[in-house]
Every structure is written in structure tokens, then in C-alpha cells.
Amino acid sequence: MAVPDFQSIMLPLLNYLGDEKEHQLQETIDAIAREFGLTLEERRELLPSGRKPIIDNRVGWARTYMKKAGLIEYTKRGYFKITERGLEVLKEKPEQINVSYLKRFPEFVEFQTVKKEEGKEEETGEETRLTPEESIEESYQRLRQSLAAELIQQVKNCSPPFFEKLVIDLLIGMGYGGTRKDAGEAIGRSGDEGIDGIIKEDRLGLDVVYVQAKRWENPVSRPEIQKFAGALMGRKAKKGIFITTSAFTKDARDYAEKIESKIVLIDGETLAQLMIDHNIGVSSVASYTLKKMDNDYFAEE
């Protein structure tokens, strides 16, 4: 089954704490995962940022919401237990505990009122599905995808010399090429046998990488990759980067994986994402830092 949303976790979590003992977060996450019969793969599913497993995030937020409602209390660093109010709730045998249920408690209502655009969240249904952290990450990913689409369209419309400059800037930004002067002399210099340029793999020039870059609308097919691989073999080279503004066919990708030479395929979508990651052709509009309580600071309290 899919990882349950954080509201679906609330009642099983409170039931688990019904033994009135102190419990640690990771132990609780493991118990909830077993309760829902999650597979190892489902337990390893990560948030879009890749920083934390989804189930860990959702159990954590279910715990936070119920603490705000006074159903759970933190006892010591990393541990928590059910409260008298939580035990009273269990005696009621509710069919489910969710945000609407928790609004009966004034402490939780106060907590909710400080959330921005609460009404908008309820109207869109996001509140029933995502934790606050997931909402931020999902919005970030939507904005990023929109920016990537704009970037690749702009790149397709740029001139060949500008595209060459863009490739140089990106490879340098990723740590290739030594100095910009070295990279500028290498890229666009070859132009024969399916190779557009040669660039240093590291700043010391201990190895080189051959580059092919194409501003195409149609997908790059296997013959183009074969031609590039043949060019690498002719130079006794084993590393290459093939960059395109379009995409690669399945045959092209399969071929690149099977041959001895290591050829990295960068399609338009990947190119745009790399440009965002390495600040090529983009600028920052705003920055938000998510913070959490530093338990180590309060360890001696």
C-alpha cells in the first residue's frame, strides 16, 4: 500500500501510545510502519528533497499535531507519551482522528490560527493530504519544474555560439574544465568525428572528457550515440558527455548503458535541472530556511 497521509496516522499513533509508557520516535515510526504493513521500499520512499523518508516525516507531524492538541506530551529528549486527555480520547473510541477532530481543543485552534492562509489550504484539500513540510516541498518542486520548462525553451531558441557558451559555463560550474580559458579553447574546437569538444575532467587535467552538444527538437537516436562512441574509440577515450536540448530514444539509452565507454546522456530536462542546481541562467528571488528545535541545546536542562 502507499504511505498513509499524516492524518491517517494519528489514531494508530495514539493507540500505540495507549500503554502509557514513554516511547522514542524511531521506535514509534517502526511500529506505525508495521501497523500499515509498509514494505521496505515504501519505508525508504523519500520526500522530494531526498532528505528524509516520507513515513518518518508523516509520523513526526502526526505527533506534533497531537501534541499541539494536548493528546501527547514530550517527557525528555527524544521521548514522548500519551496524556490524560489522550487517554480520554481513546475511551471515546473515535473512528478517526484528523485535523477537524483536533479543532475541538482550544490549544490546537490557537496553533492553527498562526498558520498562513489556513482557509486556502482547506479549500484546496492540501491539508488532508500533506504535512506542512511536504506542502512547502511540493510547491517548490512545481516552481522548479515550471522554471526548467522555461529554461529549456529559451535554450532551444538561443544561437549556436551562445549554446556553446552555456555548455562551457555549466561544465565549469560542475567542476570540469580547469580554468574558463582552458574550457573555452576546448569546447567547439574539435568538431570532427562526432566530437564537439574536449574538456578536462578535473582542475589538474589528470583525465579528459569528450563532449558532444546538439540543439535538437527531435529525440537523439541510437546511430548518433554509436557515432559518438566510435569517435571515442578512435581516440582511445573512455569518457564522454552527450548533451541535447531534446531527448534520447530508449534504444539510444540502452546502447549507452551496454558499451564499454562511459557516456553520460544529458537531455533537455536534465540540462535545465543542472542549470538550476549550478546557477546557470537563473537568479535567486527569495530564500527560506526551515529550522527545527536543537535538542542538544536543551540536553542539560
* DSSP count for the chain of H helices, then E strands: 14, 8
pLDDT value for 185:
56
pLDDT value for 198:
80
Give per-residue pLDDT as tens, 199-253.
877 766 677 888 888 888 899 999 999 999 998 888 888 889 999 999 999 999 9
Q: Is the pTM of this model over 0.85?
A: no
Min mean pLDDT across 6-10, 123-127, 136-140 is at: 123-127
Q: Are strands 72-76 and 79-82 parallel, antiparallel or unpaired?
A: antiparallel
Strands annotated E in 14-143: 23-24, 72-76, 79-82
Q: Residue holding cell 513540510?
A: 133
Q: Are strands 187-192 and 195-200 parallel, antiparallel or unpaired?
A: antiparallel
Q: Residue holding cell 501510545?
A: 17
The rounded mean pLDDT for the chain is 85
More confident residue, 98 or 186: 98
Residue 214: which residues within 8 A CB-CB, separation 6 or more? 220, 224, 242, 243, 244, 245, 246
Q: DSSP assignment, residue 199?
A: E
pLDDT value for 122:
45
CB 246 within 8 A of CB 230: no
For the chain, percent of residues with pLDDT exceeding 90: 50
3-state secondary structure of 74: strand
Structural domains of the chain, ranges and CATH numbers in brackets: 6-130 (1.10.10), 154-277 (3.40.1350.10)
Q: Does the pLDDT value for residue 118 go beyond 70?
A: no
Distances (CA, A) of 230 to 36, 110, 177, 256: 52, 68, 23, 12
In a 13 Å sphere around the CA of 164, the CA atoms on its Cβ side amount to 15
pLDDT value for 264:
95
Q: Name the pLDDT band for 124 (thresholds 50, 70, 90).
A: very low
Cα 109 from Cα 113, distance rounded (Å): 6
